[in-house]
Structure 1
Amino acid sequence: MTGVDQVDTGAAPELTVIVVSYNTRALTLACLDTLFANTHRTQMRVVVLDNASADGSAEAVRARFPQVECIASAENLGFARANNQVAAAAQTPWLLLLNPDTETHPDAIDNLLAFAKAHPRAGIVGGRTVFPDGSLNPASCWRRIGVWSLLTQITGLSRRFPNSGLFNYEGIGGWRRDSVREVDIVVGCFLMISTALWRRLGGFDLRYFMYGEDADLCLRARALG
């Protein structure tokens, strides 16, 4: 399988992958390369919405990945509005929000979708993220902010003891993200959600142009149980 091919079984796609790009041409191409090369069991509809990039992102995506639906916005819609626009037209039962600077590992999408199907009450699921050198990137998920976590941040305890579950409470310190557990917030760089739940929540709150919208979405989902 090459970076631009995906096995076509004739089955209807069950997952819409949404990539919102902004002046990330090379990163977006690498993201799509790994997405197609490392996804084997999932029929996907892949949509890139480019937020008025000046680096030829949209043109490069269209030239290299003709199977990708590429939307070139005339203005920068921001992360929340761009995702909402694509998700509104989705006809698949599942959505995946994927950052353009994210390269997926073999079977990552397949495994995440299988997990989401097996645990429908989870509503929103995410996966372990790592830096280019393979070291853990713990920012894939968080606990909700509270009085204690604010106190440990203000006093610097969370930075001094990043691996402490007590002092780095919001960052879930000490957890390697290599087991299954409930979290309050799944970060939007790699976030899978059922389309039905997304629509029940009304998607992202457009008061957030960029950053914070994923936390708000997850906390609203938790409020629904």
Structure 2
Amino acid sequence: MSDPDVTTVVVNWNTVGLLDECLASILAATPPGVANDVVVVDNGSTDGSLEHLAAAWPHVRVLANPENVGFCRANNRAIRATRSPYLLLVNTDARLPVGGIDALLRYFEEDDRAAVVGPRLVYGDGAFQRWTAGRLPAAGSMAVYLFGLDRVGPRALRRRGLYLGADTRQPFRPAWVSSAVMAVRRAALDEIGLLDERIFVYMDDVDLCARAGAAGWHVWYAADVTATHFMGSSSRRATGRASPEALRALNRWYVRRHGRAAGLALRATELAGFTARAVLHGVAALGGRPGSRSQAAAHATHLRLALERIDA
């Protein structure tokens, strides 16, 4: 039996309500003639996910972990258990468009150094999701993001922030793309290694793309392909609404990669940026601007997180 053309990996942890639409979108996005080995890795779910998969999706391969081993270890288990030349990582809260798989794989055909490809992501209502791609974390990219220079600054700064400053339909090569939907060339993983299993969740995509770029591989933002990523709640669109664990993971990864001195410089930038944001939203809240009070509180939380000790 020949190897499949692509393996699609879905990591599930107590999201049984998302599985049907996710898997249906993967099947609908698989073009005729393409053998897609769909693998669900379950991280010790207790919500009936395994029973539902067995009853509703008997042809989908399921790898069951007895406990939640994290995003990276779960994906790596599926990668090691499969042999296709291309991999597609899809979150349970993501939906692929019809024709999306073929469009993503085309980047590998057109660029033999393409290692990672990520599509443009939108929320459920179609609004652009700027957390899709960006530059590697550093004091400079963090400052551009925190002070809004990627959105209101000179054109030269629009792509120099931690996240995308503006929507675009023109494909380009950023430093990283989101693993909410991520296509990967297996040959690149054979060279640079799998996902870093020291990372439980968050920063897995940045780390993988950084290692790929350092080894001379290319990362592509496929802006001509649009997938939907719900992210659990539309409130996460608001600046400062990302999980506190995301900031902790970023700082931990940065210190591990660049050392504690560089980590202090990054956190100094975070302190300045989150302080400025908390003050501005606090003033706006006093003026009665809707949503400003919760924004100020969110930035104050991140300000406290920037002061935490980092255990790399």
Superposition TM-score tier, normalisation by shorter sequence: 0.7 to 0.9
Match of 2:74 in 1: 82
Amino acid across the alignment from 1:61: L
Larger radius of gyration: 2
Match of 2:287 in 1: none
Cα shift readout 1:131-182 (whole Å, capped 9, x = no counterpart): 111121122211112222222345x335874997626622231242x11110
Q: Does 1:122 align with 2:114?
A: yes
Amino acid across the alignment from 2:102: D
Q: Does 1:196 align with 2:187?
A: yes
Q: Does 1:35 align with 2:34?
A: no
Q: How many residues align?
A: 214
Contact 2:3 2:83 in 1 (8 A): no
Amino acid across the alignment from 1:148: G
Look up the SS of the partner of 2:46 in the other structure: coil
Greater per-residue helix proportion: 2
Q: Does 1:180 align with 2:188?
A: no
Cα shift readout 1:75-101 (whole Å, capped 9, x = no counterpart): 111001011111012111111111111
TM-score (norm 2): 0.64
C-alpha separation in 2, matches of 1:128 and 1:11 = 32
Match of 1:64 in 2: 56
Give the CA deviation at 1:46: 0.5
> Structure 1: which 5+ runs fail to align?
1-9
Contact 1:163 1:174 in 2 (8 A): no
TM-score (norm 1): 0.87
C-alpha separation in 2, matches of 1:127 and 1:58 = 29
Look up the SS of the partner of 1:71 in the other structure: strand
Root mean square deviation of aligned Cα = 2.2
Match of 2:42 in 1: 50
> Structure 2: which 5+ runs fail to align?
217-312
Deviating beyond 3 angstroms after TM superposition, the runs of 4 or more aligned structure 1 residues are 158-165
Aligned to 1:157, which of 128, 142, 148?
A: 148
Amino acid across the alignment from 1:133: D
C-alpha separation in 2, matches of 1:125 and 1:163 = 27
